[in-house]
Homo-oligomer: A and B are copies of this chain.
């Protein structure tokens, strides 16, 4: 425990849900009061394990997290990156078990909300329910975009595309200046999200740097030419809009 939900990050949740359905003042109030104590999770550790679900949901207030699945032989696929405001295990609220784990990429601040509290909210506050349902559908849209990325695009395109998506999503929750943001992902993690080897990710990044499209240094990414990068990755941000 190291803070309470009123501080900074919780607004990311409100902001996000508000973009998905018109929350009333009371809706917002109910949500804020439902949030439990906040904990901090270190980078590279698990936030939610795979398997049977615990009795609460975790909400990311600050930091970068990911959903991932590991195969028996050690191969790993990161299937989604999560930004502040995301509910990390909404599936766990409605389904019996989770088919993947959620891990912290950077140090993360996490709030929780008990399932029974959430149940209550969802029963009484249709607008909040609508926002959460829509959120599930937005997440699905990101999965589809990633499937297109990994299934059809070259390594170079994939990396470019992912960087564009991250930039947009982080801007949406105020975690990015115009074209520069913290980038805690290891090249290995990038490979795991794009279905590429570390070595190849490295070479692609070099190329993007050589072309003057990006700077990536000391865990901070700057995009120098947004349009060119978007074209390079065939990135079309419309799927990120409600």
Contact = CB atoms under 8 A, between A and B. Distances in A.
A210 interface: no
A96 B241 CA distance: 9
Contact of A144 (B69, B95, B136): B69
Interface string A218-242: 0000000000000000100011011
Nearest to A138: B95
Contacts of A238: 97, 99
Contacts of A143: 79, 140, 143-144, 147
Contacts of A138: 95
A150 B195 contact: yes
Nearest to A91: B137
Nearest to A93: B137
B69 A148 contact: yes
- What interface size band does chain A fall in? 35 or more
A72 B144 CA distance: 17
Contacts of A152: 71, 75-77, 195
Contact of A123 (B126, B140, B148, B194): B126
A141 interface: yes
A242 B148 contact: no
Interface of A: 67, 69, 71-72, 75-77, 79-80, 90-91, 94-97, 99-100, 123, 126, 129-130, 133-134, 136-141, 143-148, 150-153, 193-195, 234, 238-239, 241-242
